[in-house]
Amino acid sequence: MPVADDIRRKLGTVPHKPGIYLMRDRFGTVIYVGKARDLRKRVSQYFQPSRRMSWDLKFKALTEAIHDFDCHVVRSEPEALLLEGKLIKEFHPRYNISFRDDKRFLMLKVNLNDPIPRFTLTRLKQDDGARYFGPFPDSSGLRSTLALVRRQYHLRGCRPLTPTGRDYKHCLYAHLKYCTAPCIGNVSREQYLEQVTAACDFLAGQCEEMQGQLTDQMQKAATAQQYERAAELRDLLADLRQTTKKVSRFDRVPYSLPLALDSQKDLAELALALGLSAPPQRIEGFDISNISGTFAVASVVSFRNGRPDRANYRRFKIETVEGQNDFASVAEVVRRRYTRVLKETGGSGKAAGQKLAGRDEGGEAVPKELQRLVDDVSAAAKGRRALPAGADAAAADVGAHRAAGGPSRKGIAALPDLILIDGGKGQLGAACAELEKLGLGHIPVIGLAKEFEEIYRPGEKEPLRLSQDSGALKLLQRVRDESHRLANTYNAELRLRKISESILDEFPNIGERRKAALLRKFGSVQRIRLASVGQIAEVPGFGGRMASELKVFLEARSAG
C-alpha cells in the first residue's frame, strides 16, 4: 500500500507515548478514533502491508479511506481511554462501535450543602453546587475505594437525605462503627463536615499516608503467611492507586464541519446529476429526530455556495404529531418553515418561479458563468474536455457577485434553490405535498436515503445512485449529516433539560407517583422550591415530616 510523502513525514514526528489518534478522510471528517500505549507503533500499523487486509474488509475500507491523521499525547492509558470515549461521543466516527451510546463513566459526588453529606455514584454532572470526582474508567476499583474511604473516615452510606434516630435502629454502618452516627448527635455537623472534607482531600490525591499503611499491612500479612489477606490488600492498594491517580481534564472538543475540497465544482456536478438549470447556490436540509416518539424535534440547515450558512439554521419542536410518525413530522416542519419564510419576506410561491427559470426578481437574467461551468463539468464527465483552469475561481466570483453586487432579491432571498429531505419516498412525498399547498411546488426537492445513499426525486420510480466518490453525493451527505447532527443535538438538549427537571429523583423514597403529584400541583422544580412546607404537605402522599425534608433537600441543591 503506497504511503503519501506527507503521511510518511508526519509518522516520523509521532512520539512513542500513550495517547489517542484521529483518522480523517479526504474531506476532513473524523472516521475513526483510537487509543494506544505507543502512538508511533500503533498509527504506523495502518500504513504497513498486512495480511489482515485480505480478510478484514472493515479494516481495509478504513485504511483506504484515511487521508490524514491527528495525535494527542496523554500521560497514561486511563487518560487515553477517557479521551477516546469523549471524542467518539463527540464525532460519532463511522468505523467506531464502542462508546457510541450515551452511557458515561462513573463519577463520585458529594454535596456539602446537604444536612448530612454523603458520597454517591453518578454518571451525569449537573450544576447543583455539588463537588464531583472523576470520571473513573475503572468502576469496580472506584467502588472498592469508596468502601475504603467510608470505613477510614467513618462516613455514612445510608440513603436517607436526613437520617434520624429511627433510621439508626436499622443502620449497619453505625452498629459496625463504620459511621460516627451524626443522625443521633454522636458528632456535630461541623465535626462530620471535617470528616467529609478530609475524605475529599484524600480523593483529590492526598493519599500517600494511606498507601503506606496498606503496603505495611500487606507485607506483614505476607510475612505471617496470611496470603489471602495479603492478596486482598494488594488488590485494594491497586484500586486505590488507580482511583486517586491524577487525570487531566479534557474540555469539550469544538465541532467543525468538514468543508469540500472544491465546493463550486461539486455544486455544478450536482446540478448536472439532478438536471437543474443552474448550480443550487442555496440548499436547505431537513431531518427529524425522536426517541420512540418522545422529544420529537426537527432541524433545518442552510448551505450557501456549498458552505454552511449557520445564521439560517433553525430548530423545531414537533407540535401536532403524536407518536413516531416521520412523514407527518416532515410535513409539519416544511409547512411551518416556508409559511414563516413567505410571511416574513412578504413574498409568494409564484414569485420564486422566476428565479428557477433563470431570472432574478425584476426580470434580469441570472449570470451565465455558472451555466457555462455546468456545461464544462458535463463535457468533462463525458470525456470531451477537461475543466478549464480557473473555473472554480470564476464560479466563486459569480457567487460573490450574486450575493453582494447583484440586483435586489427582496421577497425570495430566503427561498432555497434545492431542498434535501433525510429519508426516502414517504418523507419526500410529505414534503412535496406541503410545498404544493404553499405554491412552492417549483422548488426542486429530493430525498436522500441513508442505507444505500439513494436519491429519490418526485415523479421518478427508481432512485438515483451516484458514485461514492462523486463530489455531488459528498455535498448532499454533508448537508444531510449536518441536519442530522443539529436535530440530534437539540434532542439531547431537551433530554438533558428533562433530566435536570428530575432532580427530585435524587430525593430518597419519593417514587414516581409522588413526583408526578408534586409536578402536577406546582408545575416545576423551581416552583416547589418557592413553596412553603405547608403547601408541599398538602400534596397527596406527603406529610409534614417528608415535606420538611424535601424543602431542606431543594434548598441544599439550590445553594452554592
Q: What's the pLDDT tens digit per position in 296-323?
A: 899 999 999 888 888 889 999 988 888 7
Q: How far apart are CA 180 and CA 195, in angstroms?
A: 10
Query: Quick one: cell of 552?
Result: 431542606
Q: What's the pLDDT tens digit per position in 21-39?
A: 999 887 778 889 999 989 9
Q: Which CATH architecture has domain 5-91?
A: 3-Layer(aba) Sandwich (3.40)
> What is the pLDDT, as a whole number, of residue 250?
47
- Residue 346 bridge partners (DSSP): none
pLDDT at 177 over 80: no
In this structure, the dihedral spanned by the alpha carbons of residues 382, 307, 428 and 269, taken in order and rounded to 10 degrees, is: 0
Domain boundaries, the chain: 5-91, 113-244, 263-483, 502-558
Q: Is 429 helix (H, G, I), strand (E, B) or coil?
A: helix
Q: What is the CATH number of domain 502-558?
A: 1.10.150.20
Q: How far apart are CA 310 and CA 261, in angstroms?
A: 19
Strand order in the sheet with 19-24: 30-36, 19-24, 68-73
> What is the pLDDT, as a whole number, of residue 476?
92
462, burial (CB in 10 Å: exposed 0-12, middle 13-18, buried 19+): exposed
- Find the range with the poorest average confidence among 393-407, 439-453, 544-558: 393-407
Q: Which residue in 418, 376, 372, 377 sits closest to 269, CA to CA?
A: 377
Q: How far apart are CA 279 and CA 266, in angstroms?
A: 9
> What is the pLDDT, as a whole number, of residue 259?
52
CB atoms within 10 A of CB 243: 23
The CATH number of 263-483 is which of 3.40.50.300, 3.30.420.340, 3.40.605.10, 3.40.1110.10? 3.30.420.340
Residue 169: pLDDT band (50, 70, 90) is low
pTM of the model: 0.47
Q: Angle between the 263-274 and 369-381 helix axes, to the nearest 10 degrees?
A: 80
Q: Is 253 helix (H, G, I), strand (E, B) or coil?
A: coil
> What is the pLDDT, as a whole number, of residue 334?
94
Residue 501: pLDDT band (50, 70, 90) is low
Backbone phi, psi, residue 403, to 5°: -80, -35
- Residue 33 bridge partners (DSSP): 22
Q: What's the pLDDT tens digit per position in 520-540?
A: 787 777 788 888 888 888 888
Q: Which residue in 339, 323, 338 sits closest to 288, CA to CA?
A: 323
- Find the range with the poorest average confidence among 5-19, 145-159, 205-219: 205-219
Q: How far apart are CA 148 and CA 257, in angstroms?
A: 46
The two most distant CA atoms of the chain are separated, in Å, by: 99
Q: How far apart are CA 141 and CA 153, in angstroms?
A: 18
In the numeric block, the cell 419516498 is attached to 425
Q: Is residue 507 within 8 Å of 550, Cβ to Cβ?
A: yes
Q: How far apart are CA 292 and CA 422, in angstroms?
A: 18
409, burial (CB in 10 Å: exposed 0-12, middle 13-18, buried 19+): middle
Residue 68: pLDDT band (50, 70, 90) is confident
pLDDT at 385 over 50: no
Let me know how many helices (H) and strands (E) the chain has, helices first. Answer: 22, 14
Alpha helices in 135-226 (DSSP H): 139-153, 165-168, 172-175, 189-203, 208-223
Instruction: State how far Cα 306 lies from the chain centre.
Output: 24
229: Cβ contacts below 8 Å, ≥ 6 apart:
221
- Find the range with the poorest average confidence among 142-146, 222-226, 353-357: 353-357
Q: At 132, which helix (H) or strand (E)?
A: strand 131-136
> What is the pLDDT, as a whole number, of residue 359?
40
Residue 285: pLDDT band (50, 70, 90) is very high
Q: Is residue 141 within 8 Å of 245, Cβ to Cβ?
A: no
> Is beta strand 282-291 parallel, antiparallel or unpaired with respect to 418-422?
parallel
> Is 502-558 in the same CATH topology as 5-91?
no
Residue 273: pLDDT band (50, 70, 90) is very high
